[in-house]
Structure 1
Amino acid sequence: MGGRRILVTGAAAGIGRCTAKLLAEDGATLGLLDRDEEALEEVARDTGGAALEVDITDEQAVRRRVQDFGASGGIDGLVNAAGIMFRGAAADVPAAEWRRVLDVNLTGTYIVARSSLPWLSREGGASIVNIASAQGLLPNAPGYSAYAASKGGVIALSKALAAELAPAVRVNVICPGMVDTAMADGHRGNVENYALKRLADPIEIAHTIRFLLSSDSSYITGAALATDGGRTFH
C-alpha cells in the first residue's frame, strides 16, 4: 500500500479504525472521515492520517472534505466503513428511523463514493471497498428490516457502480457477520449458526479490505464477499 492515498470512512472506531491502522502500517497515506472528532484525532495521531471530521450524510460537507484530501495528491482508494446498527420490529419502527438508517448506511456510502469519483477515475488501479453485512445477503433474524434493507442496498449499489465505473475503478463489497466491535454488544453469544462458531476479529475484516484495495485482487470487481464465518451457507 506504500504510495497509495486512501479515504476511510467510519475511521474513528470498529472496522474502519482497524483498517486505517493496517493500511498505515503498509505505508498508505490516509484521509480519515468520521463524525466523532475526538476519537478521529486519536486515530490520526496513530496513523499519520488526515482527520476529516464530517457527517457522511451531509453532501456539501463531504465534498469539501474529499476535495481537501484529494487536492493534496489525489485519491486511489476508498473504504466505506461508516454505518450504524439498528434493531426494531417493522411494526414498531417509525418511518423517520427507517430513513435515518438508510440515510447513513446507504445514502452516506453513495455520497462519499460520488464525491470521490473525480479523483478515483484519474488513477490507474483505483478501488472502492464498501462494507455491507451478512444481513444484506441473508436476513434471517427478527428486528433487522431497516438494517438489512440498508445493507442490501449497499450490495446492489456496489454492483451497479462496478458495472458503471469499469474498467477505470474496481468496486467490491464485503459482507461481514458479527464482528468483535462495540456494534456487536448484546449479540456476542449468537454464533451457533456460524460454521466457525465465533465472532470475527476486526483485523480479519481489515485484511480482506486490504486485499480488495490491492493489485492482488486486480481481476475482481462487482463481488459481494461473505466474510461471515460461514453464516450465510451454514
Structure 2
Amino acid sequence: MNNPHPHPPFNAATAQVAGRLAGRRILVTGAASGIGRSVAELFVRAGACVVALDRRRPVDLAGPASQWLAVEADITDTSAVANAVQQAVERFGGLDGVVNAAGIANTDWADAVSHEDWQRVIDVNLTGTFNVCSAAIAQLRAAGAGTIVNVSSGQGLQPFKQRSAYAASKAGVISFSKSIAMEWAPQVRVNTICPGAIDTPMVRGGYSAEELHARVGPRYALERIGEPQEIAMAALYLSSAESSFVTGIVLAVDGGRSYH
C-alpha cells in the first residue's frame, strides 16, 4: 500500500471561505474550464458576484444565480471585452476585481512555430490580459479598493524547450503586471500567480493523464502536479482584504518547480 502524500491536493470544496469576498464584484476570464472555472466557483462561495467570461459561454455554474453573470467574449476582441465590462456594470453596479485566467499553450520548437501561432499565443495570453485590464481599470479605480490577479506561468519564470511562444507571453504578463502595479497604485493592487503543471484541459492537451502523474509530477519538489483549486485559493487571497498590503508580487504556486 502506498503511503499518503504528505501534502495532498487541497480540497477547496470543503474550505471555510464564506464571507471572504462578501460584496465584491469580480470579472474572471477563462471561466468555462480549468483554473478560471475553479476561481469563479470558489469566489461565488466566498460571497462575490462573479462575471464569468470565456470565448464559449460558461454553463452549469455552481452557486446562486443572483451572483453569476456568464458572458461569451473573446479577450482578443476589445469591443467584446468592453461590452462584458458594461454588462457587469449593468448587472452588479461596477467591478471591484479582475482575475485573468484565460490562456492558450504552444509546444512547438522555436524554429518551427509559425508566425500565426506565435501571434495567437501573444494575442491571447499577453494582449488579452492587457485588453481586460484596460477595459476594467476605470471601474476598479471607482471601486476604491480594486484588485487584479493575472495568471502567468512557471514558464514565465523558468522556461524550458518547446515553450518559446508560451514562455514569452507569460513572461510578458509578469512584467506588465509589475508595471501597472506601480502605475495604478494606490487605488488598485495588482499581483501575478505563476502556476506549475496543473491538471487542466490545457495541460492535458500536451500530456496524457498517466504522463502527468508519472513523468511530470516527479520533477517537482512536492512530487505531484497541482489541482485548479490550489490556484483558486491563491487568487482568493490576492483578491481579498487579507492581502491588503500586497501588490506587485509574483507568487509561484508550483510545487517547488522554480525557486526564484
The TM-score normalised by the length of structure 1 is 0.95
Q: Which amino acid aligns with 1:136?
A: G
Q: For residues 150 and 27 of structure 1, do their structure 2 counterparts lie closer, same or farther at Cα, with a shift above 3 Å needed?
A: same
> 2:151 is matched with which residue?
131
Q: For residues 182 and 76 of structure 1, do their structure 2 counterparts lie closer, same or farther at Cα, with a shift above 3 Å needed?
A: same
CA drift of 1:47 comes to 5.4
> 2:15 is matched with which residue?
none
Q: Which amino acid aligns with 1:82?
A: A
Q: Are 1:172 and 1:212, in contact at CA under 8 Å, matched by a contact in 2? A: yes
Equivalent residue of 1:154, what SS?
A: helix
* Unpaired segments ≥5 residues, structure 1: none
- The residue correspondences of 1:85-164 to structure 2 (distance < 5 A) are 85-139=105-159, 141-164=160-183
Q: For residues 135 and 93 of structure 1, do their structure 2 counterparts lie closer, same or farther at Cα, with a shift above 3 Å needed?
A: same
* Aligned residue among 36, 43, 46 for 1:16: 36
The TM-score normalised by the length of structure 2 is 0.86
Confirm whether residue 67 of structure 1 aligns to residue 93 of structure 2. no
Which segments of structure 1 move beyond 4 Å, counting only runs of 4 or more? Answer: none
CA RMSD of aligned residues (A): 1.3
Q: Which amino acid aligns with 1:127?
A: T
* Unpaired segments ≥5 residues, structure 2: 1-20
CA deviations over 1:2-33 (Å, ceiling 9, x no partner): 11100000000000001111111111101111
Q: Are 1:137 and 1:232, in contact at CA under 8 Å, matched by a contact in 2? A: yes
How far apart, in 1, do the equivalents of 2:235 and 2:64 lie?
17
The structure whose Rg is larger is: 2
Q: Are 1:20 and 1:47, in contact at CA under 8 Å, matched by a contact in 2? A: no
Confirm whether residue 223 of structure 1 aligns to residue 249 of structure 2. yes
Percent sequence identity over aligned pairs = 49
Q: Are 1:176 and 1:228, in contact at CA under 8 Å, matched by a contact in 2? A: yes
Q: Are 2:24 and 2:97, in contact at CA under 8 Å, matched by a contact in 1? A: yes
What count of residue pairs does the alignment treat as equivalent?
A: 230
Q: Which amino acid aligns with 1:121?
A: R
